[in-house]
Amino acid sequence: MSDTTANPPVRAVETTTFTIILAVSICHMLNDIMQSLLAALYPMLKDDYALDFWQIGLLTLTFQVTASLLQPLIGLYTDKRPMPQSLPFGMASTMVGLVLLAFAEHYPVLLLGAALIGIGSAIFHPEASRVARIASGGRYGLAQSLFQVGGNFGTAIGPLLAAFIVVPRGQSSVAWFSLIALLGMVILWQVGNWYGRYRAANAGRAATSRALPLPRQRIVIALVVLALLVFTKNIYTASVTSYYTFFLIEKFDVTVQQSQMMLFLFLGAMALGTVLGGPLGDRFGSKAVIWFSILGVLPFTLALPYADLFWSGVLSFVIGVIIASAFPAIVVFAQELVPGRVGMIAGIFFGFAFGMGGIAAAVLGVIADAKGIEFVYRICSYLPFLGLLTIFLPSMREVRPAG
């Protein structure tokens, strides 16, 4: 790979503020614990409300498309007018959505709760990603990984909490998780205060240059390719987070709790992959990590639909680690292509991830109703072939010349 040594050294004049990165990562974990409860509730909601798979998919679509539509707009606005104190308000929206999920008696109320969780996500991600980058001290991949891994841990823990708390205690027990939103609001208020002090202390510094490092056409092509790679990753991820428990229950006759443990294994593996992806991108270049992640996962996805229960667990773990390693690299790559638009890029890619996952979940639900859940995993196994599009990305040496 031509870009494996192209990344410049960390700027000596900057320091990495790990306390702030850790704070936004913890809040990302809390945010995504609450978000993941929605998907973790699906087996219970399907039985209690007599839902079809397409209705399960519509819940995911409502949550994720709400976030998808708002995130880029919020990111674009806050690039011009940073709003650090908006972070606790995003957490409050998620809290209200959880309360609605806990006490809903009709399907439309479930949809409203999912929408409010999506709004909370839309407010949280662009500004929190900006804070992580500001606090990075130039170690952008590391900061992005640490920020994102909080979300991965939250997404992984959610199904476990659902299996051991919500499933035995019922839907109303979801309301107890709103208490962690209050903790998140307190932490984010302090993060916002730090951000305000940082802006005041650096008010005299020259603004970040918005000059494009490559011709506009090449940047557009590269951003489209990166978006398609996110599309590939998140369709596959949506197939697992929304339907993997049903796949395991149908194919291997496991219990709901056993299926949730298997889902936790996959989501925990994604957390590990996210931790590894950012530092590897700083060391070897974002493009190399993207090649490895998107295309390298293909043999394992092809094997998963035909594996027994033990090897399903092994393969899902390997798939989770490899496929998750790309996202920090993709976000950092895009931020380098379009400097000075951190919030917009974070909004587009986090939002695009949610939106594509939501649309995919709805479409896959229709396919599952028509063709069966195993058919869904057979067709999704071919998605990583789109990783070949990485060949159209510029090298990091072109994007960020040494010196």
- Which of 1.20.58.760, 3.40.50.300, 1.20.1250.20, 3.40.190.10 would CATH assign to domain 18-199+212-399? 1.20.1250.20
Res. 330: pLDDT tops 70: yes
Domain map (residue ranges) of the chain: 18-199+212-399
CB-based contact 57:366 (threshold 8 Å): yes
Q: What is the pLDDT of residues 335-390, one digit of tens each?
A: 888 887 777 787 777 776 666 766 777 788 888 889 988 898 899 899 888 888 88
Alpha helix segments (H runs only) across 285-341: 286-290, 296, 298-303, 309-324, 326-337
d(CA 266, CA 313): 8
d(CA 17, CA 34): 26
CA end-to-end distance (rounded Å), the chain:
20
pLDDT score for 402: 46
d(CA 42, CA 101): 12
Q: What is the pLDDT of residues 280-321, one digit of tens each?
A: 877 887 888 888 888 889 999 999 999 999 999 999 999 999
Res. 333: pLDDT tops 90: no
pLDDT score for 169: 81
Mean pLDDT computed over every residue of the chain? 82
Q: What is the pLDDT of residues 147-159, one digit of tens each?
A: 888 887 887 787 7
d(CA 17, CA 23): 10
Q: Which three-class secondary structure string do you get for 93-144?
A: HHHHHHHHHHHCCCHHHHHHHHHHHHHHHHHHHHHHHHHHHHCCCCCHHHHH
User: Which pLDDT band, with edges at 50, 70 and 90, does 78 fall under?
Assistant: confident
**Which residue's structure tokens are 């104190």?**
85
d(CA 149, CA 133): 14
CB-based contact 154:29 (threshold 8 Å): yes
